[in-house]
Structure 1
């Protein structure tokens, strides 16, 4: 038996970090906006003739093998894969993973891989798991691996695809697809890799603790980030592209105010060059400090923005907005 699975990464448009419980409970109407993209994470699971389990990460070149799932060290090499195999109690399988996104890109590659592997293992073990239950497994296992709270948003573009709002409230987390023409949005986006792995410019645990401890500046920043996400969602729904650019500028300004380490001199230079070439707004993806950034521009200015970023040392990543989320096949 063989199972192949894959899941898309994402661009986080606005509202990030508020998706970590319990931060969103303190900001009514909290939501994040994201767009799934075609740079996918892949998992291939093949049944073996014995009970051994072998884990292979093609991206890192790391390989782990044990007599069965019980023999895998969840604190050793490839801990995310090991913990997922432990949860599903899988033995007698070779599990191979790879990602189309650069290492440390900040576009939720680990969450996409998590969803792809969890979905693949569920299929391999013939377990029918509802969407939100599978996402809860993925989120909780990742929290075990990184030993800090994880947000709710990144698993949803990986599972569902599309452009969406993740609404966060007292009664739970709910994904709402955004009604827009994806081609109109895609034609205005440029994604670039800064060639530096992200360094967690926003320390989620530190920011979360400061918020809970009553840091007025952090609370005010998150309130503005919440308001920006609401305004950007409205602008996207109206097709008001200049306002989308304005809201993106405000989002980036507040990110830098919340955690100055989210940017670097190289990132500032790249974004400055993009804006001089016509970008209406830009921000780093994910935690920042490196990884990817994306720019928003009128379609006619996109070629100049791409050239400006490349001239300043960035690698331009070709992609399209991905309407399909988790894929599982049985070749």
Structure 2
């Protein structure tokens, strides 16, 4: 048997960064995001030789270990080993026969679409399919968060794990004590089609280490830096503004809402933008985009631009001069999906 899973990546539309502790613990956070047709995929094939084989197909990395737990966290595919170690610890051990774990992510690491967290969810999903683990949606998302933030000590927020698990367009609320509320939005298909048509997803061909930006953001809250905290308050308001625009169908307001949020996001921490990204942003605006943002923590990766009416074609043409790549996508309604063959 082969046990498979796929979990969707996400576009963060509003509120980005307010899901990160300690801000979310102290003030409550809110984010609006939507999953798209780019995925993290995982497959497990049981073996009979007592070996654990990792194949990260997109990174072209392969590792092999004896099936002795816990696996060493040595900087080599630790995110996969972290999942396995936690499953072994929490669910009474893994079969001694060994297995091959093959993974693939449709976007590069550090690109701002939640790749690492989505990969954790996908791997958890494949193991849940194999071992029949009793994991509901909230359980799986929280477990993925705990593996990344507690076991592996990787800085970051909470939205990506919940987006990958639930799927669709969601307004998410974050509170102290790891309390998360996922509110699926019932948006008319015509409005989703228009948003999909008008929202350009552009890969800048750069990546960044999000943990550096996020760590500074966390420090700014801990140190009570008023400008940074005020900026996060505005981003939380942006999430509410985005929710109302989508539900009411006032889609062409979204560019202005994105621009509003981007101005405040740049005040959260250093390194969120840079001269190259600012130049890309201004070129898109000049070509007809009414607003946009950097996806994820910032510093590189993907950017999104809202292009009203038929301006997307001029915007795409303007972006071509920067050597990046416009990525086609569709919105998805499903989160993590698993199956076996």
TM-score bracket, normalised by the shorter chain, equals over 0.9
> Deviations for 1:34-87, whole angstroms, at most 9, x for unmatched residues?
010111011010011222111111122222211104162123411111111112
| Aligned match of 1:296 | 306
Give secondary structure in 2 for the equivalent of 1:294: strand
Q: Distance in 1 between matches of 2:205 and 2:68?
A: 36
Give secondary structure in 1 for the equivalent of 2:200: strand
Give secondary structure in 2 for the equivalent of 1:195: coil
Does residue 240 (structure 1) correspond to residue 229 (structure 2)? The answer is no
Q: Distance in 2 between matches of 1:325 and 1:10?
A: 10
Q: Distance in 2 between matches of 1:170 and 1:51?
A: 42
Structure 1 residues 294, 199: CA separation in 2 closer, same or farther (over 3 Å shift)?
same
Does residue 113 (structure 1) correspond to residue 119 (structure 2)? The answer is yes
Does residue 82 (structure 1) correspond to residue 72 (structure 2)? The answer is no
Give the 5 Å matches for 1:54-69. 54-69=53-68
Farther off after superposition, 37-46 or 305-314 = 305-314
Structure 1 residues 106, 60: CA separation in 2 closer, same or farther (over 3 Å shift)?
same
The 8 Å contact of residues 5 and 120 in structure 1, kept in 2 or not, is answered as: yes
Which of 225, 246, 271 is equivalent to 2:235? 225
Farther off after superposition, 165-174 or 235-244 = 165-174
| Aligned match of 2:131 | 125
Kindly state the Cα deviation for residue 187 of structure 1 after the two structures are TM-superposed. 1.3
| Aligned match of 1:174 | 181
| Aligned match of 2:17 | 17
Q: Distance in 2 between matches of 1:203 and 1:32?
A: 18
> Deviations for 1:235-280, whole angstroms, at most 9, x for unmatched residues?
2211112322111101110111222411122211211111111111
Structure 1 residues 199, 79: CA separation in 2 closer, same or farther (over 3 Å shift)?
closer
Kindly state the Cα deviation for residue 205 of structure 1 after the two structures are TM-superposed. 2.2
Q: Distance in 1 between matches of 2:226 and 2:186?
A: 35
Farther off after superposition, 142-151 or 59-68 = 142-151
| Aligned match of 2:295 | 285
Alpha-carbon RMSD:
1.8
The 8 Å contact of residues 110 and 210 in structure 2, kept in 1 or not, is answered as: no
| Aligned match of 2:91 | none
| Aligned match of 2:102 | 96
| Aligned match of 2:329 | 319
Relative to the length of structure 2, the TM-score reads 0.91
Does residue 212 (structure 1) correspond to residue 219 (structure 2)? The answer is no
| Aligned match of 2:279 | 269
Q: Distance in 1 between matches of 2:325 and 2:75?
A: 32
Relative to the length of structure 1, the TM-score reads 0.94
Kindly state the Cα deviation for residue 118 of structure 1 after the two structures are TM-superposed. 0.6
Give secondary structure in 2 for the equivalent of 1:262: coil
Q: Distance in 2 between matches of 1:94 and 1:311?
A: 42
The 8 Å contact of residues 213 and 298 in structure 2, kept in 1 or not, is answered as: no
The 8 Å contact of residues 53 and 62 in structure 2, kept in 1 or not, is answered as: yes
The 8 Å contact of residues 255 and 290 in structure 2, kept in 1 or not, is answered as: yes
Instruction: Give unmatched runs, 5+ long, in structure 1.
Output: none
Q: Distance in 2 between matches of 1:298 and 1:201?
A: 33
| Aligned match of 1:135 | 141
Kindly state the Cα deviation for residue 329 of structure 1 after the two structures are TM-superposed. 1.3
